[in-house]
Amino acid sequence: MGHRTPGPQRSPWSAVLAAALLLSCPPPARGQAPRFTIRQDPEAARLGGDVTFALELLPSGVVYCAWHRAPTASLDFEIFTYFKQPELGQQNGPAYTERETGAADCSMRISRLRLNDTSAYTVAVRHPTITTASINLTVYELLTQPAVTPDNVTVTENDTVSLTCRSPPGTETVAWLRDGAVVSAGGRLSLSLDNRTLTVRPVQRGDAGAYTCQVSNAISTNRSDDVNVTILCESPRHPCPRRPPRCPHPCIPCAVPVSVPIPTCPVLSLSRVTVTPPGPLRLRLGSHLDLRCAAAAAPPPLFAWARGNASLATGSHLRLDFGDPSQAGKYRCRATNPILGRAAEAAVLLLQDEGLSSGAIAGIILGTLLGLGLLGAAGYLLWRRVGRSSTPISLNGAKPSASSREAPAADGTDSTEEVKYSTLTFSAPGGPAPHGPPRLDGGTVYSEVRRK
């Protein structure tokens, strides 16, 4: 479109000339309809994007066009004036933000849109009289996910249900869906003026289902998570009580066919709560644990997990990734009867495992004792073998020496007494002789004497 890069604020001479031109112009004709229109491109302006205002059916002979960020052509809110005759180009005004660019066709482009760019814009065109036209700009942002409160509802038939949609900033429209189909106000169903609150009074079995809040604006649409509404049906003779009953039998859920016999007296109960696996549990860092909570109750209870004063999760299942010692402690599961309002708890203690288990320690001790026993047995067998052997043992590889001598018997007869010596010869090559008793016969020590 031939946009020119805008310059700085007006120079003194151009400002004087522009003021003279403006003052010489006659005032705009009151009640005169504009002979041109403003077209916005794109039609929906996005935060951070660009937008262009183009003039259509612009007459020839335009002297200048001035853009203002206001519903009127006020000089205090002038963005710039583009002079065509004389050809002075874009002269910026007090409302210029360095993001607006004009062109010879009197168009204006705004770049890097901000939310506060949402405003009315007016252009004044002189040809030679002054004619103005205005347009409203809205800058949209992408919508984040809305949320519905309460997140799950269980009510008795003929009671009242109210759901509220917490919509994000920038929301223009709010719609409600049940099981994916749009619901409309009428009959037992009513909507607030802004459609953010849905009320059903009285509820019936056909009102059960998954409810969703949908928000929209010109550039985006987003939906909340489903909220399940459960309806408990009443018996014509014995309705489900609001207070704890004194006799048994559960209320029939509305999903059950009407032909099913309805108990003569409803019961609402909540029994003992259990957590599996039971504690105390020892976990090593980096390990994982799945905890499950169970409770017999009518109707089925709602479960919530907590540690200390911190809420962790809802539902009967809790998965833990044990990666920090601070996660050790007591984990509680709370089961609540949605009709009675009664609750019961069970807990499990989690500890950090910092050492070997008792089984591993017992295995190490048993293995050590077994090894010592084997060493003792081997030593005993070696000792028996050495004691019974008549062959001397030499520790340095030398053959043992033996000698015998004869001695007269005590009765004067000649007898032979044989003395055998077993010797141990020690050798310490390259080092000093070992400490011990004096060595005899060149280092031979006599260790055994036998008589035959």
Q: Which of 299, 162, 150, 296 is nearest to 232 (CA)?
A: 299
Which CATH number is correct for 269-352, 2.60.40.3080, 3.40.1190.20, 2.60.40.10, 2.60.40.290? Answer: 2.60.40.10
- Render pLDDT for 177-211 as a digit per residue (tens, 0 to 9): 999 999 999 999 999 999 999 999 999 988 999 99
CA separation for the pair 303, 333 (Å, rounded):
7
pLDDT of residue 265: 42
Banded pLDDT at 35 (limits 50, 70, 90): confident
Q: How many CB atoms lie within 10 A of CB 258?
A: 9
In 130-223, where does DSSP find H-type helix?
none
pTM (two decimals):
0.48
- Render pLDDT for 386-405 as a digit per residue (tens, 0 to 9): 665 544 544 444 444 444 44
Banded pLDDT at 423 (limits 50, 70, 90): very low
State both tokens at 330. 């007591």
Dihedral pair phi/psi, residue 5, rounded to 5°: -70, 125
Pairing label, strands 329-336, 152-156: unpaired
CA separation for the pair 294, 364 (Å, rounded):
40
55 in Cβ contact with 38 (< 8 Å): yes
Helix, strand or coil for residue 223? strand
- Render pLDDT for 50-94 as a digit per residue (tens, 0 to 9): 999 999 988 888 999 999 999 999 999 999 999 987 788 999 999
User: Which residue do the tokens 């029939």 mark?
Assistant: 252
The domain spans of the chain are 12-140, 147-232, 269-352, 388-452
Q: Which of 264, 259, 258, 341 is nearest to 299 (CA)?
A: 341
Question: For the domain 12-140, what is the CATH superfamily, name and number?
Answer: Immunoglobulins (2.60.40.10)
163 in Cβ contact with 238 (< 8 Å): no
* Residue 172 scores a pLDDT above 90: yes
- How many H-runs (helices) and E-runs (strands) does the chain carry? 2, 31
pLDDT of residue 228: 92
State both tokens at 296. 């017999």
Taking only Cα atoms into account, the Rg of the chain, rounded to an integer number of angstroms, comes to 50
Of residues 185 and 384, more confidence is placed in 185
Same CATH fold assignment for domains 12-140 and 269-352: yes
Cβ-Cβ contacts under 8 Å for 115 (sequence gap 6 or more): 47, 139, 141
DSSP secondary structure of 90-114 = EEE-TT--S-EEE-TTS-EEE-S--
Say yes or no: domain 147-232 is CATH 2.60.40.10. yes
State both tokens at 24. 């010489």
pLDDT of residue 389: 54
423 in Cβ contact with 394 (< 8 Å): yes
